[in-house]
Amino acid sequence: MSFELKPKTYDWRYLLGLPFACEPLCTVGVVAQKIITGVVNVLWVLVEAKFIDFAIGCALGQAAMKEAYPLLAVMLLIIFWKRIGYSFGRILTNKVQISSAYQMNREAVKKRSRMHYSLIEDQESWELARRVCKDMEDNVWGMLQNTCNFLVGVVRTGGVLIIIFTESAWLGVMMVLVSVPLIYFSVTSGGRIYKAFKESSAFARRSEYLQGIMTGRDTVEERTLFDFTAHTNQEWNSRREQYQKISLLAETGKEKRNVGSGMLTNLISTVMVCFLILELSRGSISIGIFISLSKAIYDMINLMNNEIGRSVIIMARYVAYMKDLTVFANLKETEGTNDLPSEQPQRFESLVLKNVFFRYPGTEQYILNGMSMELERGQHYAFVGENGAGKTTVTKLLTGLYDDYEGSILLNGRELRDYAPAEIKAMFSNVWQDFARYQDTVANNILVGDIRHMEEKKARERMEGYAGELDICEEMNRLPQGFDTPLGKLSDHSVDLSGGQWQRVAMARSLMNPAPIQILDEPTAALDPVSESRLYEEFEKISEGRTTIFISHRLGSTKLANQIFVLKGGRIEESGSHEELMKSQGLYARMYESQKSWYEEESMRKGEASA
């Protein structure tokens, strides 16, 4: 059996088959231990009966002690088995559990990383993926456990029924007759309880989220400053109240059912025991069989009523889970998304967008509305425009994250969507607007940009070179373990960087990547306009020979670009060099005029310095 999550329909057989595929011997051991325990429980009924009869025989002076030895030996064996079998079962269980959870999680992580980018940005798909992965371990293991318990129940019930039939056939028939409505009642009420709990879990999810906001680390600064705890607390309380109300109803329903079924169980058991007394008084069964069978009947009826109901609830959960797993496994994937960037150095010649239209999946509004532009090797470009103009969206299309655009994007004369992901990865390197801050060492935060060579000594030298050029080498060397200092807030030894330092680390990471096109999507928001402008200048010098695209709202930073594209409403409103755009007195010139004062001081300072 293959573990791989493929696009197909999954059912309980997959969950049940997994432990057998991961750890066949151990899983067979677990199942065997459960079945033997079931058989042993039935055997105990007979041995106990014989023992009671022997004890009565002894009391009446009709039995000799030596008759007890084989009985005692069997009883001891059963007791030993129960003890050893239980521990043996636990050890095997742990092994199966750890191994199947590992395999499943690995598959889930792989599937998540293959997911089409549009689905990652889609809240519903992301939530589904999170839910499926979170419950995976419990469900894989629970399915096996539930099936084993069911098997034990069948063995025990079957065994006790056989004993009853051999002792009294009509009593056996009665027993079968009462079990039919009992099982029916158990199955239907199990289904109702599951529904009630499912309803309450929707409220529980929102409550959990709100609790995270009130106690989580990510929100601590804003929580302290804005002091929204009381406000959130109010919503949390009201959600919690609704949740409590629904789950209380579910619990009450469950308890009502327990009381009802408990009474029914006891009533049926008592009636059956009365029949047993009848058989006893007729002399057709021994006292030993009467006592041990009475106990077994109580246990059996209880098992049919309660355990079957519980199994139904658990099975209903698995059926719902398998539906989720099927949707998850069938989520659209990007072929080759896990491939490393192509090893061959990529040569960039030209990038041409011709009348490109694009809207995000599941939305109506076009974000790119007939965008056209041409980019050439070795030039420096800038995208400017107001919030929501479509600047980041273009970069998502260029880097292949979305390929369902209309119009055409020609990279070196070939349609972009015909490139393999490995080729696109080798062509572009980005610092995204919301770049990642890895809770890892400074070195790994930067080296990961060149994943193919990150372990090589030369890569480390390049890393320090870029860090130096971006003005963070000395600061990083001053950290407790230099470039090997862990960053973030995870461990006691880790340190956190300032917003500006993180941005430079992200830029160094991008530069590590040998891709010929470097895109900076405004990762410099933590810097003042003048520092940003200087950093962009620096970046441009370092990336000499490569093609750069800078995105910024601060036009001092983009002024040096060979060509500036001004985006508005998903189109290019105007384009040209800074001087050309200033001359044409359009949108760019107006934007620049309004920001001019930011840079005047700096140019005066420069002027003084050169004088």
Ligand X SMILES: Nc1ncnc2c1ncn2[C@@H]1O[C@H](COP(=O)(O)OP(=O)(O)OP(=O)(O)O)[C@@H](O)[C@H]1O
Residue 393 site contact among ligand X, Mg ion, none (CB < 5 to 8 Å, cut-off depends on kind): ligand X
Residue 573 site contact among Mg ion, ligand X, none (CB < 5 to 8 Å, cut-off depends on kind): none
As measured in angstroms, the least distance from the Cβ of 431 to ligand X is: 13
**Using a CB cutoff of 8 Å and minimum separation of 24, what contacts does 144-151 make?**
144/15, 144/16, 144/19, 144/27, 144/30, 144/96, 146/311, 146/314, 146/315, 146/318, 147/16, 148/30, 148/31, 148/34, 149/34, 149/307, 149/311, 150/311, 151/31, 151/34, 151/35, 151/38
As measured in angstroms, the least distance from the Cβ of 304 to ligand X is: 53
Question: In terms of C-beta density within 10 A (0-12 exposed, 13-18 middle, 19 or more buried), how is residue 550 classed?
Answer: buried
Show the tokens assigned to 563: 């060509």
**Interface with Mg ion, residue 494, by CB under 5 A:** no
As measured in angstroms, the least distance from the Cβ of 424 to Mg ion is: 20
Q: Return the range that interacts with Mg ion (CB under 5 A); candidates 112-120, 313-321, 325-333, 383-391.
A: 383-391
SS3 408: strand
Residue nearest to Mg ion (CB): 392
Q: Return the range that interacts with Mg ion (CB under 5 A); candidates 263-271, 322-330, 373-381, 388-396.
A: 388-396
Residues 6+ apart with CB under 8 A from 48: 288, 291, 292
∠ CA 576-396-562, nearest 5°, is 20
Site for Mg ion in 418-457 (CB under 5 A): 433
Question: Residue numbers of the site for ligand X (CB under 6 A)?
Answer: 121, 360, 363, 367, 385, 387-393, 433
Q: How far apart are CA 504 and CA 510, in angstroms?
A: 10
Q: How far apart are CA 485 and CA 479, in angstroms?
A: 7
Closest CA to 512 of 587, 454, 559: 454
Bridge pairing between strands 517-521 and 547-551 = parallel
Q: Are 575 and 371 in contact (CB under 8 A)?
A: no
As measured in angstroms, the least distance from the Cβ of 363 to ligand X is: 5
Residue 387 site contact among Mg ion, ligand X, none (CB < 5 to 8 Å, cut-off depends on kind): ligand X
Residue 360 site contact among Mg ion, ligand X, none (CB < 5 to 8 Å, cut-off depends on kind): ligand X
Considering the complex, state which of residue 190 and residue 390 has its C-beta at the smaller distance from ligand X. 390
Considering the complex, state which of residue 94 and residue 594 has its C-beta at the smaller distance from ligand X. 594
As measured in angstroms, the least distance from the Cβ of 392 to Mg ion is: 3
Residue 333 site contact among Mg ion, ligand X, none (CB < 5 to 8 Å, cut-off depends on kind): none
Residue 125 site contact among ligand X, Mg ion, none (CB < 5 to 8 Å, cut-off depends on kind): none
Closest CA to 110 of 440, 331, 321: 331
Residues 229, 334, 342, 392: which binds Mg ion (CB under 5 A)? 392
Q: How far apart are CA 357 and CA 354, in angstroms?
A: 9
As measured in angstroms, the least distance from the Cβ of 521 to Mg ion is: 6
Residue 497 site contact among Mg ion, ligand X, none (CB < 5 to 8 Å, cut-off depends on kind): none
Considering the complex, state which of residue 163 and residue 506 has its C-beta at the smaller distance from ligand X. 506
As measured in angstroms, the least distance from the Cβ of 385 to Mg ion is: 9
Q: Are 96 and 24 in contact (CB under 8 A)?
A: no
Considering the complex, state which of residue 364 and residue 544 has its C-beta at the smaller distance from ligand X. 364
As measured in angstroms, the least distance from the Cβ of 523 to ligand X is: 11
Which positions touch Mg ion (CB under 5 A)?
391-392, 433
